Amino acid sequence: MWIFRHSSILVLTLLVTFAGVVSTAASEHRIELKINGAVAYGDLVEPEGGGREKGVLVITHGTLAHKDMEIIAALQAALAERGIASLAHSLTLGMDRREGMYDCANPHLHRHEDGAAEIGAWITWLKANGAGPISLLGHSRGGNQAAWFAAGPGKGVLNALVLLAPSMNARDSNPAADYKRRFNADLDAILSKAKALIAKGAGTALMDMPGFLYCTNAKASAESVVSYYGPEPRRDTPALLPRLDVRTLVIAAGEDTVVPNVVERVRPLADGKKIQLRVVEDASHLFNDFFIEDAADLVAEFLKTGA
């Protein structure tokens, strides 16, 4: 493992149609893509002197976030400076034309695994619109969804995979205890109710939740509750790494307090070839300020080495 020091689908029925590309700059294009009846937004940034035909890196954001957050926008700009085209997209999270952070006032009708299917939809669009080899990067929960895609419907599809501070369980993870500590509620009872609703064919029925992801006093469908809180080994990114058939770079943030155990969990799986691990020292989970430049250096080096 090299230490980098800071220097200055699940199968869903996809209705995928190209709704329009509007140029917002010489090298940036706003894309609208219809997925399962909802319009999703994406930004395709192509460096001067070479565009999508040389290859594109698809970028997926973290929990309830979006493509325009600082870490994603800064990463796209930094990669363009390094000659790498990228497409960052906002997951629909079950909403039409969603922008900005997810509004907790809205009920949660989305599922974790939907992210992998939406990644596939964007890759389908890129392939139909002149893109060269496709690579994939996911941040935080998006890192897990990217690995989920790569280990399943994306097998044989990707040129490379980058997981930026990907979400994962602690070794002694106890979801019920964690939920009790955070929301003072019994997760097992909540899951039992959700599973009973699904068994009766009422998976879309809304449940009152003391907490759901980052939202307090939320409403979520029974299917959403089971998707995000039910037992599922694939939500733990290290469990997916041995199943990958693509060169993978995992980048950890040295001062990450959101996913603090990336190095601990990934180091035993990293062989330095198919699975590589790098650390940006002193960076937080969001790689604020100049730390995103360090991450971009690592991504660019990894992609160009394997070209």
Per-residue model confidence as pLDDT tens digits over 224-272: 999 999 999 999 999 999 999 999 999 999 999 999 999 999 999 999 9
**Alpha carbon 164 to its chain's center:** 9
**CB-CB contact of 17 with 58 (8 Å):** no
pTM greater than the 0.85 cutoff: yes
- Count of domains for the chain: 2
**Together in a domain, 128 and 219:** no
The pLDDT of 124-139, averaged and rounded, is 97
Calpha distance 248→161 (Å, rounded): 5
The pLDDT value given to residue 307 = 63
Does residue 10 carry a pLDDT above 70? no
**Together in a domain, 218 and 252:** no
Does residue 9 carry a pLDDT above 80? no
Residue with token string 């997925």: 35
**Together in a domain, 70 and 199:** no
Boundary-marking domain end, from 227, 246, 270? 227
**Together in a domain, 118 and 240:** yes
**Together in a domain, 144 and 252:** yes
The pLDDT of 142-168, averaged and rounded, is 97
**Together in a domain, 189 and 101:** no
**CB-CB contact of 66 with 44 (8 Å):** no
**Together in a domain, 216 and 257:** no
- Which domain does 215 fall in, by range? 175-227
**Together in a domain, 108 and 84:** yes
**CB-CB contact of 263 with 216 (8 Å):** no
**Together in a domain, 219 and 135:** no
Q: Mean pLDDT over all residues of the chain?
A: 91
Percent of the chain at pLDDT exceeding 90: 87
Beta strand 134-139 pairing with 161-164: parallel
The pLDDT of 90-95, averaged and rounded, is 98
Does residue 161 carry a pLDDT above 60? yes
